[in-house]
Amino acid sequence: MAAESCVANAKYTYIHDNHKGSLETLDSHHVVVRKSSAKAFIVYLSALLLTTTAFSLFLLQDGSIHVLLWSLFLSAFLVKQFIWKPVEKESIIIMPAFGVQLETHYSRGRIIHRFIPIEKILKLVLNECVTPVTCYWNLSLIVREEEELVLVFKELHPPVKMLIPIWKALCAATDNPVTQVPSR
């Protein structure tokens, strides 16, 4: 039997699969990057306009080839920055009897797995990370024999409303008490 729930916003979709059977219990949480075709269209259109303008300046005004090359470089950079997302999905699979498996799925097909035994997890931390440009929440694990915090989502920064159910499920699996739920 599998129970599934889903939460979505403009950037991410959160999917929770809970498989409970007689032999095993699997609790999987996925954060998937949402694709926007309108955003891709606007970025490609602006890159095309930039290249067309530079090409017309090059042909009509006997401009330098440097202007054309720089506009091509800038167009490629814009497309790469705004369209190309290397990570498609990050998942955490909780197996209360064994441990936690962290997965990162990349767009080129590569998948990175990391397994952490349940007895090595000391504490769960839900952090608010503040940078000069942005503010986001992060779910981390304090793991025995590790010098640094282990990030559950290394590449993605899902909102706190998607992190709280994962945090509660991890607290239940590791027998850590849920202390205080952060404000959304």
Span 18-44, pLDDT tens digits: 776 645 678 899 999 987 777 777 777
Higher pLDDT, 121 or 23: 121
**Mean per-residue pLDDT for 137-152?**
93
pLDDT score at 101: 96
pLDDT surpassing 50 at residue 1: no
Residue 38 contacts by C-beta under 8 Å, 6 or more apart in sequence?
none
pLDDT surpassing 60 at residue 54: yes
Mean pLDDT of the chain: 82
pLDDT score at 34: 85
State the fold for domain 2-34+86-174.
PH-domain like (2.30.29)
pLDDT score at 97: 85
Higher pLDDT, 57 or 29: 29
| 10-24, 88-102, 137-151, 163-177, range with the lowest pLDDT | 10-24
Domain boundary assignment for the chain = 2-34+86-174, 37-82
Report percent pLDDT > 70 for the chain. Answer: 83
pLDDT score at 9: 83
Are the C-beta atoms of residues 125 and 142 closer than 8 Å to each other?
yes
**Mean per-residue pLDDT for 81-95?**
84
pTM: 0.73
- pLDDT bin (cut points 50, 70, 90) of residue 70 is confident
pLDDT score at 13: 92
pLDDT score at 141: 94
- pLDDT bin (cut points 50, 70, 90) of residue 109 is confident
